[in-house]
């Protein structure tokens, strides 16, 4: 789910469309979800039912004005990091998609250092 459009966009909190899709998917389906949102934690009960699941987070370290300009509605990277930790702790395979990589705007080493304990791969 996703790569071009996040399944946990801001409106998902109210619409719960992704949750409905997860409820109706065959739990034997190989499922990979990429998101920028900690809202995915709301569906942890459903995610744990999938036998072949991986969850990825797009993580950068935008802050302040840069964050507001580049990702105005996405949760900050700290919230994503906490969600990554929690999902990894639940035994779900995790990965990190570092994006965008813009020299001078993100610190790639910092992102890797913050996530390496909780990401099964990048």
pTM assigned to the model: 0.92
Q: How many residues does the chain have?
A: 122
Q: What is the pLDDT of residue 122?
A: 84
Mean pLDDT of the chain: 95
Angle, in degrees to the nearest 10, between helices 77-89 and 108-115:
30
Over residues 54-90, the pLDDT tens digits come to: 999 999 999 999 999 999 999 999 999 999 999 999 9
Long-range contacts of 11-14 (CB under 8 A, 24+ apart): 12/37, 12/39, 13/39
Over 70: is that where the pLDDT of 2 sits? Answer: no
**Strand 30-35 to 52-59 pairing:** parallel
Both tokens of 33, joined, read: 């979800």
């Amino acid at each position: 789910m996703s790569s071009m459009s996040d399944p946990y966009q801001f409106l998902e909190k109210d619409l719960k469309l992704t949750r409905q899709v997860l409820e109706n998917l065959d739990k034997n389906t190989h499922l990979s979800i990429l998101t920028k949102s900690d809202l995915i934690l709301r569906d942890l009960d459903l995610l744990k039912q999938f036998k072949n699941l991986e969850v990825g987070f797009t993580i950068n370290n935008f802050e302040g004005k840069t964050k507001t300009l580049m990702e105005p509605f996405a949760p900050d990277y700290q919230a994503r990091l906490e969600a990554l930790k929690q999902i990894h702790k639940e035994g779900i395979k995790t990965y990190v998609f570092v994006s965008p990589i813009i020299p001078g705007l993100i610190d790639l080493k910092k992102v890797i250092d913050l996530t390496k304990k909780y990401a099964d791969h990048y």
